[in-house]
Amino acid sequence: MYALDTTPKKQKDTNNMKLKSATFRLLALSAFAIAAPLAVSAQEACTTYVVKEGDTLGNISQAAYGTYDFQMIFNANRDQLASNINDLPVGMELILPCEDGRLTADSELSGVIAAEEEKQETTRSTSNIYEPPLKFVTGNGWKPFTDESLAGGGILVRLATTALQRGGNDREGSVSWVNDWGSHTEVLLPTGAFDISIAWGMPDCTKIDLLGEDGVKRCTDLDATLPVYEVAETFTTLLDSKYVNVTKFEDLAGAKICKPADWSSFPLEEVGLVEPLVTHVRLATPKDCAEAVLNGEVDVMAIELETATDVFAELGAADKVVTNPSLIHFLTYHFIASKKNPRGRIYIAMLNKGLIEMRESGEWYDVVATGLAEYNNMTQ
């Protein structure tokens, strides 16, 4: 069983905070303008949709849900969209989930979870060999992903603890909460106080020559699981910006790109958006970056789609900006271990086995959709 233990909480180290969204909803309240023509006609959720010429995920999401935020569609179609996010093949069939996260109108949101838990109980084995519980550490304030107030500790905590019980693992574990995220990688994991931190964005380490200090450190000091969750990293400009219709990252040459100071810059670096090709502007908050775009002080805001959608809606400016549909790429979150931990790679392999089984059974989607639905109900 998993005990959600509380350790003394530390002040967050904002210089080492992970990429995170200020708020996260199943459906955003306002939609962005989009740079491509609206090819898709009115479309209902709880159905499937066949991609037509000129479609983008944003257009499809607008037609089905009234918002450009397509995270729900991506979650439901992850396997086929991971390599086609900026160029949807004509004829691809997409699942458009119900607004509460169910894949179809007659499905039960948590049905797979219940079935997998029952299967785990019937196949559970006993052993006389003692295996110490795996020690997870995470932090509060990252709803709906990690927070003690959420069921099971949040979506990513539930995915971690469940993965440890799948794929033939059947291991015990504990979850502790330390809100100083920087201490996870600097002290708690390297010293062996904890085994796994939930969860961190990881760069593409095959492009380490492009990365700055933070990205390089993540590649050289940490072992990471397979991707646990992906979020869309987007580029938002004014409607009349000269960068509205660019189709390649290098076409942003000369742009002033704003990213909040507490967000890592490696998502820009790994696609080649480094100085002097572009100018990085680091302001305190996503709202500061959004206001700088609206005031013409910067050309582009680079941040996750959820956060961009929320902040421009909050400013009443969703109709003044555009998110470029051709420059979307994904930031992946992972469970991480220190390379100094002699059993770190063993634990990573165990979690990978569990995650693979959860993907194949559909339990991963059920955990994510259930967590989002629960959080959405809390915030209404």
CATH number where 266 lies:
3.40.190.10
Lowest-confidence range among 66-75, 216-225, 254-263? 66-75
Residue 37: asked if its preceding bond is cis (omega within 30°), the reply is no
SS3 338: strand
**190 and 249, same structural domain?**
no
Closest listed residue to residue 218, CA positions, set 333, 307, 82, 304: 333
Residue 116 placed within a domain: no
**238 and 151, same structural domain?**
no
pLDDT at res. 122: 59
Residue 108 placed within a domain: no
**Range 111-132 average pLDDT:** 60
Tens digit of pLDDT for each residue in 357-371? 999 998 999 999 888
Q: 183 pLDDT exceeds 90?
A: yes
DSSP conformational letter for 184:
I
**Range 333-342 average pLDDT:** 97
Residue 70 placed within a domain: yes
Closest listed residue to residue 331, CA positions, set 27, 14, 19: 19
**Number of Cβ atoms within 10 Å of the Cβ of 375:** 22
Q: 6 pLDDT exceeds 80?
A: no
**Number of Cβ atoms within 10 Å of the Cβ of 190:** 15
Closest listed residue to residue 79, CA positions, set 66, 100, 63, 93: 93
Q: 141 pLDDT exceeds 80?
A: yes
> Residue 235 phi/psi, 5° resolution?
-125, 120
> Residue 242 phi/psi, 5° resolution?
-70, -10
Closest listed residue to residue 264, CA positions, set 333, 340, 209: 333
Residue 123 placed within a domain: no
**141 and 12, same structural domain?**
yes
Q: Which of 315, 330, 345 is the last residue of a domain?
A: 330
Closest listed residue to residue 110, CA positions, set 365, 303, 379: 365
**320 and 183, same structural domain?**
no
CATH number where 72 lies:
3.10.350.10
**Range 47-69 average pLDDT:** 85
Tens digit of pLDDT for each residue in 201-221? 999 999 999 999 999 999 999
pLDDT band at 34 (very low <50, low <70, confident <90, very high): very low
Q: What is the mean pLDDT of the chain?
A: 83
Alpha carbon 57 to chain centroid, angstroms? 17
Give the count of domains, the chain.
Answer: 3
pLDDT at res. 112: 63
Residue 172 placed within a domain: yes
Q: Cα(12)–Cα(34) distance, rounded to whole angstroms?
A: 36
Identify the residue with better confidence: 380 or 360.
360
**287 and 175, same structural domain?**
no
Range of the domain at 282: 230-330
pLDDT at res. 28: 37
Q: Cα(310)–Cα(285) distance, rounded to whole angstroms?
A: 13
Tens digit of pLDDT for each residue in 71-119? 888 888 888 887 767 778 899 999 888 877 777 766 666 666 666 556 6
Q: Cα(26)–Cα(372) distance, rounded to whole angstroms?
A: 6
Q: Cα(73)–Cα(279) distance, rounded to whole angstroms?
A: 33
**Range 241-258 average pLDDT:** 95
**349 and 306, same structural domain?**
no
Top mean pLDDT of 16-20, 48-52, 63-67, 350-354 is at 350-354
pLDDT at res. 267: 93
Rg (CA), the chain: 21
Q: Which positions ≥6 away from 196 have C-beta within 8 Å?
A: 134, 135, 136, 137, 160, 189, 335, 336, 337, 347, 348, 351
Q: Cα(143)–Cα(375) distance, rounded to whole angstroms?
A: 8
Q: Cα(139)–Cα(191) distance, rounded to whole angstroms?
A: 18
Max Cα–Cα distance, the chain, nearest Å = 68
pLDDT at res. 31: 40
Identify the residue with better confidence: 256 or 100.
256
The helix (H) or strand (E) run that includes residue 336 is strand 329-338
**Range 291-296 average pLDDT:** 98
User: Measured in Å, how far apart are the chain's first and last C-alpha atoms?
Assistant: 32
**Number of Cβ atoms within 10 Å of the Cβ of 86:** 14
Q: 305 pLDDT exceeds 50?
A: yes
**188 and 242, same structural domain?**
no
**241 and 299, same structural domain?**
yes
pLDDT at res. 103: 75
pLDDT at res. 26: 39
Q: Which of 309, 330, 351 is the last residue of a domain?
A: 330
**360 and 325, same structural domain?**
no
DSSP conformational letter for 146:
B
Residue 124 placed within a domain: no
Q: 335 pLDDT exceeds 90?
A: yes
**339 and 223, same structural domain?**
yes
> What is the identity of the amino acid at 4?
L
Q: Which of 69, 96, 123 is the last residue of a domain?
A: 96
pLDDT at res. 185: 95
Residue 169 placed within a domain: yes
Residue 107 placed within a domain: no
Identify the residue with better confidence: 343 or 36.
343
Secondary structure (DSSP) of 238-294: ETT-TTTT--SGGGGTT-EEE--TTS-SHHHHTTT--TTTSEEE--SSHHHHHHHHH
pLDDT band at 130 (very low <50, low <70, confident <90, very high): low
**210 and 61, same structural domain?**
no
**10 and 57, same structural domain?**
no
Tens digit of pLDDT for each residue in 260-283? 988 889 999 999 999 999 999 999
For the chain, helix, strand, coil in percent to 5 are: 35, 20, 45
